Amino acid sequence: MDLLNQLEAILESDPLIDEVGFIHPSQFVILSKECGESGDSSEDGAFGPRNTKFWNRDHKLGISTEVLLPLCKAAKSAFMDAMKQYKTLSSLLDNKHEDENITNGSLSCQSFASEVMKHSRALLLLSCDFGTAWNSRKLVVSKKQQLSIFMDELLLSALVLSYSPKSEQAWSHRRWVIKMIAGKYSTLQEIIAKESELVEKIAERSKMNYRAWNHRCWLVSYMTREQMLHELKKSRDWAGLHVADNSCFHYCRRLMLGISEISCCKQEGDNSSYDVENYQVVKEELDLSEVLIKRYVGREALWLHRRFLTLLTIRHLTTKHGISCHFEQKTSMDNEINIFLDNESCLLDYCSTIQDTEFEDFKAQAMHSAIYFLWLITQIPQFREIELQVKLKAGNLKTILQNTCPERFFLSDFSDLNGSF
């Protein structure tokens, strides 16, 4: 229990700890020297550099790997005892109908609740997927309903994520806290913004972190339209530097769908302004997609993202074409469709050229472009399909697939059924 008391004392004395790490005992002396600490003790003598169990400085906490097992056992034992006593006393108070001793019982229950929170915090820093500990905190916090306590839960889960960024329990706990805050406090939008920033920081350190990006996608449902537009702009820069991480592009797609959903709800009357703004966002994403495809050769994630953008473009253009009543509007929309198809045709010509046969990425680029345009043919309305096939010289797509990826050659068979080749 002495180790557990030391750990809990450190956590109490420094509530702003934002990072936890597990350190080999031999590294404690090196850390002390790098920080300029003396060889005897720290200023208060409690947790000096000679302490090879814990290291705490600048709101960073290091725990020796040597003590992990006994420390975890002690934390689990203390937590389970406190939780058992808390549940027992809570049950007695809930079933008690007499007024006598209720005050004393309530004070005792609060005391055990504090013990549960203290021991569960230490336990979760050592074993982040201990679901019973997370659930016990939910039980205690839900009875208090205080914003400061909710914020403490966000701090704790962020601390857990600092050493275990893919902990599903920690991400799930954050979502529970946000649900509890939503609709009750005016700080929700500020919290959502900070949540998004946290995910971005974690994504920088932990590549391909699906759980983090899934959490960020979940946040979209709580964002305002302005926040979504701001997040989309930020994500463009991040995606440009992480083109292999499809999770970021998935987040961009979720944002664009969120923007569209909000616009649909607000534009029951006049929908022209929102519709134009949304289409402009799609066009900007299409332009960026083309730049990235040409810059980063052979990246499948970029082509998959372009499919989504193309679907939004086709939906906008064909819907507008269908509801247009005036000849001038139809002519203008025809021109937009022709421009879009011409641009896609130029992109195919550019990407299907294998500049270096020894460089596999050029072959991958040609293959992805051919598959994309075979898919595009199926998405264009019937009255445009023949025109598109002529523009794209669909027979060339079959040749590209044969040369770059024979195992996917069957994808071109659907065109034979329509007599296009």
Q: Which residues, including other chains, have CB under 8 Å from residue 109's CB and lie 6 or more apart?
A: 86, 89, 90, 93
| pLDDT per residue as tens digits for the range 72-109 | 999 999 999 999 999 888 888 776 655 555 555 566 77
pLDDT at position 164: 95
Q: What b/e sequence results for 220-235 when a residue is b if at least 16 CB atoms lie within 10 Å of its CB, and e otherwise?
A: bebbeeebbbebbeeb
Distance from C-alpha of 299 to C-alpha of 200, rounded to nearest angstrom: 22
pLDDT at 275: 76
- CA 272, 273, 279, 285: dihedral to nearest 10 degrees? -170
Can you list the residues of the chain whose pLDDT is less than 70? 1, 36-50, 95-107, 265-274, 320-333, 357, 381-421
Distance CA 54, CA 28 (A): 8
pLDDT of 352 reads: 83
Q: What is the pLDDT of residue 348?
A: 87
pLDDT of residue 42: 47
- Residue 207: its pLDDT value, please? 86
CA distance to 168, 174, 203, 259, per residue, from 153 (Å): 15, 8, 21, 30
So what's the pLDDT on residue 328? Answer: 57
For 97, phi then psi, to 5°, come to: -105, -10
d(CA 258, CA 265): 11
pLDDT for the residue 420: 43
> What does the alpha-carbon distance between residue 324 and residue 312 come to, in Å, rounded to a whole number?
18
Q: Which amino acid is at 45?
A: G
Between β-strands 60-64 and 19-23, what pairing exists: parallel, antiparallel or unpaired?
Answer: parallel
User: Residue 54's beta-bridge partner residues?
Assistant: 63
Segment 267-282, tens digit of pLDDT? 555 556 667 888 899 9
